[in-house]
Chains A and B, each alone.
Chain A
Amino acid sequence: QSALTQPPSASGSPGQSVTISCTGTSSDVGAHNYVSWYQQHPGKAPKLMISELSKRPSGVPDRFSGSKSGNTASLTVSGLQAEDEADYYCSSFAGSNNLVFGGGTKLTVL
């Protein structure tokens, strides 16, 4: 199973919005809504930000939102804040009871 495709980097100024894409295939991202997004700060464990394409776990700010079009899922961070600077990973259920992650996107707040 191939990894999902994410841009290596993204950036935005405080207060701006940034969108990170996650491209898969019709067998994974395009097949269902079991897409998740994780935030990882250096040296820390990942944190679930979005599950099932667009659900925000308790405690995650509503500045974070998820969506999908075809085989590409997206994470949008609105009103960028300094603490949003981190690595972001998407994941998708890939059938055959497997899960695949994206390569990760380093988000820089300028």
Chain B
Amino acid sequence: EVQLVESGGGLVQPGGSLRLSCAASGFTFSKHWMTWVRQAPGKGLEWVANIKEDGSEKNYVDSVKGRFTISRDNAKNSLYLQVNSLRAEDTAVYYCARGTVSAPRSAFDVWGQGTMVTVSS
């Protein structure tokens, strides 16, 4: 079964850090762009970052540049998002998602269940 499972979310104080993980199974992880998308409580979806199959290209939404770092370990079939200098507005469910073969940076056909990050003092 093709699956993505996120972990690592939690309650953190403003200015704090977390490392989100996404474990992939059931497909050849190293052949897909991967993306993080977040959704604040009661709000819409927001693209956060993506990473090329081999990790050689990474892109970020402006609001997280310099604070978030996306990475992957193809040997472990895992995607990561290091989130630093967290702000209240970063509070959201964070989803990892797989890019399709023909539209790897713009269409996501497999999603995880999400991990909740809450930034509060």
Which residue numbers of A lie inside 8 Å of B, CB to CB? 1, 3, 34-36, 38, 40, 45-48, 51-52, 55, 57, 89, 91-93, 97-104
CB pair B103–A104 under 8 Å, yes or no, is no
CB pair A99–B44 under 8 Å, yes or no, is no
Report the contact-size class of chain B (Cβ under 8 Å from the partner).
20 to 34
| Residues of B30-81 contacting chain A, CB below 8 A | 35, 37, 44-47, 50, 57, 59, 61-62
Complex: how many Å from CA A101 to CA B46? 6
CB pair A57–B44 under 8 Å, yes or no, is no
| Residues of B78-110 contacting chain A, CB below 8 A | 95, 100, 102-103, 105-109
Q: Please name all residues of chain B whose beta carbon is closer than 8 Å to the beta carbon of A51 when the two chains form the complex.
A: 100, 102-103, 106-107, 109
A88 to chain B, nearest CB (A): 11
CB pair B113–A38 under 8 Å, yes or no, is no
CB pair B109–A48 under 8 Å, yes or no, is yes
CB pair B47–A91 under 8 Å, yes or no, is yes
CB pair A91–B106 under 8 Å, yes or no, is yes
Can you name 14 extra interface pairs (CB under 8 A) apart from A47-B111, A97-B105, A99-B50?
A1-B62, A34-B105, A34-B107, A40-B45, A46-B95, A46-B111, A51-B102, A51-B107, A52-B107, A55-B102, A98-B61, A99-B106, A101-B44, A104-B45
Q: Please name all residues of chain A whose beta carbon is closer than 8 Å to the beta carbon of B9 when the two chains form the complex.
A: none
Interface of A (DSSP majority class): strand
Chain B CB count within 10 A is highest, among A36, A45, A57, A97, for: A45
CB pair A45–B113 under 8 Å, yes or no, is yes
A91 to chain B, nearest CB (A): 7
CB pair B114–A104 under 8 Å, yes or no, is no
- Asked if B112 lies at the interface with its beta carbon under 8 angstroms from chain A, I say yes
Q: Please name all residues of chain A whose beta carbon is closer than 8 Å to the beta carbon of B59 when the two chains form the complex.
A: 97-98
Q: Please name all residues of chain A whose beta carbon is closer than 8 Å to the beta carbon of B112 when the two chains form the complex.
A: 45
Q: Please name all residues of chain A whose beta carbon is closer than 8 Å to the beta carbon of B95 when the two chains form the complex.
A: 45-46
